[in-house]
Amino acid sequence: MSETDKHAQRSSDVQESTWADAMMYLIPGIIAIVIGAVGLRYGEMFVGIGWVGIIAGLGATGYGLYKGFTSKKIEFVKVECVYCHAQNYFTYHPDDDFRCDKCQRLVPILDGRVLPVEQVRCGFCNTLNYYSEKTEVLLCENCNREVPISLDEGRTPTKRLAPSYAVKAEDQRLFELRLIDPGPKTEEVIQTLQKMLALNRNQVKQMLEEVPITLLTGIPRMKAEMLQAQLSAHQAHAQALPLD
């Protein structure tokens, strides 16, 4: 397998897939053994078929068991979640963000390394939120308002709506976020939508073939506008439209 073909898979997925392949040999093998035993039991006419079935069944069953137990010998790389410190196991070190098996938070990855996360409390509802240097727009997990985050020296500020803690009249309407045009930076938009929608790369690419398309619906206005700004930062054209 070449370096470009490597893809980090979870250990549980690999083991499940390996045993699924093994069952394709185990089940027919057991059936063949049973048929062969019946052939030997009921007359000389079926002795030849019986032995063929038993031999073929033993071979298939043995190969199935071997294939299944090879999953135990696969070496896995463990990556610690920066939020809950649970260990996640992969075939290779992941080169993109992944969701922790335990806490289901998105663990940020940049250039093959796990990024540390910072904590900040929302000025509106006091909920604790997390962000990393990859975070472009931070929305509170509880109230969906934008939480201002400080950038380290030397980092280029991300284009986004100006944060504000001013109390404003809430728009009680629900909105939908529609992607009109992904723009020229397709790769950046794909990565952004993967994180925004919790979809895999193929699912996002299929969505881009169907634009204009609704990305999210039934969300608060502030969340729709924040996500719209996040897409605009990558030169994609999206609209936040109120639902009837």
d(CA 116, CA 43): 72
d(CA 229, CA 92): 34
Question: In the predicted model, what is the mean pLDDT of residues 128-138?
Answer: 84
Per-residue pLDDT band at 8 (split at 50, 70, 90): low
Question: What confidence score (pLDDT) does residue 5 get?
Answer: 39
User: pLDDT, tens digit, for every residue of 168-201?
Assistant: 445 678 999 999 999 999 999 998 898 888 888 8
d(CA 95, CA 110): 7
d(CA 52, CA 30): 13
Q: Which residue has the higher pLDDT, 20 or 236?
A: 236
Q: How far is CA 118 from CA 83, 107, 138, 225, in A?
A: 10, 12, 12, 24
pTM over 0.75: no
- Most confidently predicted of 6-10, 11-15, 143-147: 143-147
> Which helix (H) or strand (E) element contains residue 180?
strand 174-181
Domain boundaries, the chain: 3-73, 117-242
Nearest CA to 22 out of 59, 75, 74, 61 is that of 61
Provide the mean pLDDT of the chain: 79
The partner residues of 240 in beta bridges, in order of sequence, read 177
The token pair that represents 44 in the structure block: 């000389």
- Most confidently predicted of 25-29, 65-69, 209-213: 209-213
108 pLDDT more than 50: yes
- Any idea which fold 117-242 has? Ribosomal Protein L30; Chain: A, (3.30.1390)
d(CA 160, CA 162): 6
User: pLDDT, tens digit, for every residue of 214-237?
Assistant: 999 998 888 888 888 889 888 999
